[in-house]
């Protein structure tokens, strides 16, 4: 009986592996063509000030909309791109798209906005990362401070000394660094203190149930208390309702990002939003952000 059961598990496992391998191959084959075909685009999700709810920046989130297969989530293709090395050309495309968009916004509206770009582990450890970013910034004649990067807590903690070196090279060129998915990795406080990071992004998993879950509230409270000493900004991602906003404001968080304010949107919609055309949302006012 046990053997039979084991056998079945084996069969299911094989089928999953097989499906995964096919999917991996398919994504690997299609990804670069998808960039050329314009099926891969950068979407922008606003980040707002916790008190005024004014937009202070955006997070760049990549979207792949395949003409036949529809939406392919980044959680699926980013890890495959990472595994196959395609993340480097994809990452370069994303960097260029963002810089080009920032340049357009500056030309059309006369003010600078900020965009944070997600980096995967391979991108983070590629040689001359700071140089790649500076080249794109210069190509589009942007201020260095308009580009931010997001690296996960796990990436920063995996090889801390190395990470500190890379993060310092980014800081030197004026790029702001956020620690993404904070709370899901294993940060040691003594290391956290050493990281040249501006902002901690508290992971969405602590927020999903926040209004019903006192443990999650206690965790957020503890993170805020701990980081006040270390002078990090606290950004909360995945804010979906008013109750959460109220709790998080009381806890002293600095910035919010989530569906309650806005979903990630394409460049056109983000432009409309910046122009203040979307009346359901508090338009940004000049000066666009407090310089930090």
Binding of ligand C2E by 127 (CB under 6 A): no
Segment holding 45, helix H or strand E: strand 40-49
> How many positions of this chain bind Mg ion (CB under 5 A)?
5
Which partner, Mg ion, ligand C2E, none, binds residue 78 by CB below 5 to 8 Å per kind?
Answer: ligand C2E
Beta strand 55-66 pairing with 115-118: parallel
Q: Can you give 208-253 as a three-state secondary structure string?
A: CCCCCCHHHHHHHHHHHHHHHHHCCEEEEECCCCHHHHHHHHHHCC
Binding of ligand C2E by 237 (CB under 6 A): yes
Task: Write the DSSP assignment of 130-195 as a string of letters.
Answer: HHHHHHHHHHTT--GGGEEEEEEHHHHHHTHHHHHHHHHHHHHTT-EEEEEEETSS---HHHHHHS
* Interatomic CA distance for residues 121 and 214, integer angstroms: 33
Binding of ligand C2E by 181 (CB under 6 A): yes
Binding of ligand C2E by 235 (CB under 6 A): no
> How many positions of this chain bind ligand C2E (CB under 6 A)?
24
Binding of ligand C2E by 31 (CB under 6 A): no
Two tokens, residue 230: 């270390």
Which residue stretch of 6-14, 113-121, 265-273, 278-286 sits at the interface with ligand C2E (rule: CB under 6 A)? 113-121
Which partner, ligand C2E, Mg ion, none, binds residue 254 by CB below 5 to 8 Å per kind?
Answer: none
Residue 278 · residue 284 · CB < 8 Å: no
Other Cβ atoms within 10 Å of 138 Cβ, number? 11
Binding of ligand C2E by 49 (CB under 6 A): no
Residue number with CB closer to ligand C2E (78 or 193): 78
Beta-carbon contacts of residue 168 (< 8 Å; ≥ 6 apart): 196
Residue number with CB closer to ligand C2E (57 or 118): 118
Which residue stretch of 21-29, 154-162, 221-229, 234-242 sits at the interface with ligand C2E (rule: CB under 6 A)? 234-242
Residue 255, helix vs strand vs coil = strand
Q: Which of residues 118-157 bind Mg ion (CB under 5 A)?
A: 118, 150
Query: Which residue of 30, 153, 181, 216 would you call a contact of Mg ion, by CB under 5 A?
Result: 181
Binding of ligand C2E by 180 (CB under 6 A): yes
Query: Which residue of 38, 67, 70, 73 would you call a contact of ligand C2E, by CB under 6 A?
Result: 73
Binding of ligand C2E by 61 (CB under 6 A): yes
Closest CB 21 distance from ligand C2E, rounded Å = 21
Instruction: Classify 54 in phi/psi space as left (phi over 0), alpha (psi -120 to 50) or beta.
Output: beta
Which residue stretch of 49-57, 164-172, 218-226, 232-240 sits at the interface with ligand C2E (rule: CB under 6 A)? 232-240
Segment holding 57, helix H or strand E: strand 55-66
Residue number with CB closer to ligand C2E (119 or 134): 119
Binding of ligand C2E by 30 (CB under 6 A): no
Q: Which residues bind Mg ion (CB under 5 A)?
A: 118, 150, 180-181, 237
């Amino acid at each position: 009986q046990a053997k039979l059961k084991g056998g079945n598990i084996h069969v299911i496992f094989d089928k999953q592996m097989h499906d995964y391998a096919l999917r991996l191959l398919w994504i690997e084959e299609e990804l670069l063509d998808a960039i050329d075909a314009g099926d891969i685009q950068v979407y922008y999700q606003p980040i707002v000030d916790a008190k005024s709810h004014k937009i202070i920046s955006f997070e760049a989130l990549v979207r792949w909309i395949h003409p036949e297969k529809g939406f392919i989530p980044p959680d699926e293709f980013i890890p495959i791109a990472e595994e196959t090395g395609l993340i480097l050309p994809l990452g370069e495309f994303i960097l260029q798209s963002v810089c080009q968009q920032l340049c357009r916004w500056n030309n059309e509206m006369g003010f600078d906005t900020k965009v944070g770009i997600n980096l995967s582990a391979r991108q983070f450890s590629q040689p001359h990362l700071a140089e790649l970013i500076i080249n794109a910034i210069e190509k589009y004649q942007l201020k260095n401070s308009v580009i931010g990067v997001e690296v996960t807590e796990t990436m920063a903690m995996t090889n801390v000394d190395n990470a500190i070196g890379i993060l310092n090279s980014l800081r030197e060129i004026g790029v702001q660094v956020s620690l993404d998915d904070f709370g899901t990795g294993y940060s040691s406080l003594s290391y956290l203190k050493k990281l040249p990071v501006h902002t901690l992004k508290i992971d969405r998993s602590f927020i999903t149930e926040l209004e019903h879950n006192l443990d999650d509230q206690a965790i957020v409270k503890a993170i805020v208390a701990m980081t006040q000493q270390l002078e990090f900004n606290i950004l909360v991602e995945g804010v979906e309702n008013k109750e959460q906003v109220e709790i998080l404001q009381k806890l002293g968080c600095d910035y919010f990002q989530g569906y309650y304010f806005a979903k990630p949107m394409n460049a056109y919609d983000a432009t409309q939003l910046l122009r203040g055309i979307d009346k359901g949302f508090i338009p940004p006012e000049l000066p666009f952000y407090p310089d930090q």
